[in-house]
Amino acid sequence: MHGCNETHDAQLSSWVHSANEADCDFPIQNLPFGVFRSTVGNEVFRVGVAIGDQILDLFQVARQGVFAGEVQAALETCSEHSLNQLMSLGQPVWSALRLALSRALRSGSPLESKLSDCLVPQAESEYALPAEIGDYTDFYTSIHHATNVGKLFRPDNPLLPNYKWLPIGYHGRASSVVVSGQDVIRPKGQTLAPAAQTPQLTPCKRLDIELELGVFIGTGNARGTSIPLALAEDHVFGLCLLNDWSARDLQAWEYQPLGPFLSKSFATTISPWVVTTEALAPYRVALERPQSDPALIPYLDSLQNNTLGAFDLELEVLIQTQQMREAKLPPEKLIQTNYRHAYWTVAQMVAHHTVNGCNLQSGDLFGTGTLSGPTLDQAGALLEITQGGKSPITLANGQVRTFLEDGDEVTLRGWCQHGSGPRIGFGTCIGRVLPSIAAGA
């Protein structure tokens, strides 16, 4: 874990004036990385950094030749269509590049005249996945989500015996991870209707959201080795928003004995911008773990992780139905919660994932699992909010939802902020539900 430095100074301002606006997600204290291209002309995807309402094109910055050494070497990886090569360079290089960009983008920087031509408006850009994702692992780090879901099936014993001992996870499908803005087609799969003896192949009727964060691995480890907890975050490049769409009716029929399969593998949406863990340093908080809970096995336990392993990161989910769009009504907030309520930290996920010798690689993606808070109004999935569909919610325009309907558009947002200080935002993670495709189409 790395502490604060000059890049976190709340008084810093940028010569990119939109970055200085109070409600901006991307002030100079943030500088998240992503992969983009301009919609003007026939361009290739390349690496950029968000600053205000602009993108600093790092490929063009490299061509300016105003930097040297490891910073210039890092910039020269930014002509790639993914962040993988930059991620593989390691934390000291990421930090040096971030510091150099911070200094270059500050008000009064002598590099303004050279770098201003490297800006591309976000409104005139489109995005690709930030990285080529070799593997995707989804965890279950919110004890409140685990408890809420467990109560639906095991009211007297909602948590399984292993929950407080290890970060539970399963291996997901990397090929169906998509970037924000791509539509989500309602999946089909086997379901077993109540009182039925034979399952049927049908479109999902209980389509759900899962409010999560994504964790991108920067540098990996050799197969047969493990990453200790104290060094785990040195291997993490940054975080993004993640919506792990879930077909609850398919899941109910298929999950025993091996867990989710088709109910999860059809789509996972992530935001385009990856906020570095260094940018989040001022928002570290203590892990919320009751002292009465069992003492962890040492590889998952440390004073540093307990006191600074969590993040004070606000999260929200909004919905806009087809009817709302036609009536020109804005999206309506469904959920607001905070990542600080997670039971397991980013470092613990990395340490546990590798303790058996599993080798991580640059660009691997973790999902935190649904991030629910301690009260039901902070639940991160419709399954919890509606109590398994038994308590539908009524939107402001009178429409009722238990699960998602075709045409519903879901937006995830996230940010860190202390008082009137800079807002370290994650942008948006958006997906719209389309009808299921007919068989054979």
Domain covering 136-434, topology: Fumarylacetoacetate hydrolase; domain 2 (3.90.850)
**Scanning the structure block, which residue is given the tokens 């000291």?**
92
Q: How far apart are CA 353 and CA 360, in angstroms?
A: 8
Looking at residue 358, the DSSP 8-state letter turns out to be: P
DSSP 16-35: SGGGGSTT-S--TTT--EEE
Q: How far apart are CA 270 and CA 367, in angstroms?
A: 10
Please report which confidence band the pLDDT of residue 157 belongs to, taking 50, 70 and 90 as the band edges: confident
Q: How far apart are CA 166 and CA 427, in angstroms?
A: 31
**pLDDT, tens digit, for every residue of 80-138?**
999 999 999 999 999 999 999 999 999 999 999 999 999 999 999 999 999 999 999 99
Mean per-residue pLDDT, 25-50 = 95
Catalytic residue among 145, 235, 341, 353: 145
Q: What is the pLDDT of residue 254?
A: 94
Cα separations in angstroms, 161 against 152, 158, 165, 206? 17, 10, 8, 28
The number of helix segments (H) and strand segments (E) in the chain equals: 11, 26
Q: Mapping DSSP to helix (H, G, I), strand (E, B) and coil, where does residue 99 land?
A: helix
Mean per-residue pLDDT, 341-351 = 98
Domain ranges in the chain with CATH number 3.90.850.10: 136-434
- Provide CB contacts within 8 A for 158, sequence distance 6+: 146, 147, 148, 149, 150, 151
Q: What is the pLDDT of residue 126?
A: 97
Domain ranges in the chain with CATH number 2.30.30.230: 6-128
Percentage of the residues of the chain whose pLDDT score is greater than 70: 99
DSSP 159-208: S-TTTTTS--EEE--GGGEEETT--EEPPEEEE--TT-SS-EEEE-SSEE
Q: How far apart are CA 390 and CA 386, in angstroms?
A: 6
User: Can 341 be counted among the known catalytic residues?
Assistant: no
Cβ proximity of 217 and 363 under 8 Å: yes
**pLDDT, tens digit, for every residue of 356-366?**
999 999 999 99
pLDDT > 70? residue 440: no
Please report which confidence band the pLDDT of residue 42 belongs to, taking 50, 70 and 90 as the band edges: confident
**pLDDT, tens digit, for every residue of 292-319?**
999 999 999 999 999 999 999 999 999 9
Cβ proximity of 258 and 18 under 8 Å: no
Q: Mapping DSSP to helix (H, G, I), strand (E, B) and coil, where does residue 431 land?
A: strand
Q: What is the pTM of this model?
A: 0.97
Torsional class of 338: left (φ above 0), alpha (ψ -120 to 50), beta (otherwise): beta
Q: How far apart are CA 414 and CA 222, in angstroms?
A: 33
| Rounded (5°) CA angle 23-25-28 | 105
Please report which confidence band the pLDDT of residue 439 belongs to, taking 50, 70 and 90 as the band edges: low
Mean per-residue pLDDT, 41-69 = 96
Q: What is the CATH number of domain 6-128?
A: 2.30.30.230
Q: How far apart are CA 55 and CA 122, in angstroms?
A: 6
Cα separations in angstroms, 221 against 89, 193, 299, 331, 354? 13, 45, 16, 42, 8
Cβ proximity of 305 and 350 under 8 Å: no
Q: What is the pLDDT of residue 156?
A: 87
21 token code pair: 């606006």
